Amino acid sequence: MRCMRGLIVAVSLACGATAWAKLPPPSPEAKAKAEEAAAKAKWADKVAAYQLCQTQDKVAAFYYAQAKEQGKATQPPVPTPPCVNPGPYVAAQSDAAAPAAAAQK
């Protein structure tokens, strides 16, 4: 029993030591790719919020129309900000590409 416990502790310490190993810093291309992925994910979140807003408005309109049709009394809707379309995704121009484009002019 003690051997098993000692073995588990030894393996845990060995795995923990490898987890603290330092990785090399990412290359500029990897940084740019990560920033692009983050920007695209942020845009996708905005699109999802816009679609959710539209769906909520559609459901609320259906509910009020159905309640009015059935003669039920309803509370006035809570005022909410309008749905804002984020538009199509446009990739941001990186800082490294900007000087190169300016040099070509």
Render pLDDT for 7-64 as a digit per residue (tens, 0 to 9): 788 887 777 666 677 889 999 999 999 999 999 999 999 999 999 999 999 999 999 9
pLDDT surpasses 80 at 104: no
- Decide if 77 contacts 60 (C-beta within 8 A): yes
pLDDT at 102: 47
Q: Which long-range contacts (CB under 8 A, 24 or more apart) does 52-57 make?
A: 53/83, 54/83, 57/83
Confidence of residue 105 (pLDDT cuts 50, 70, 90): very low
Residues 66 and 49: their CA atoms lie apart, in Å, by: 26
pLDDT surpasses 70 at 1: no
pLDDT at 94: 59
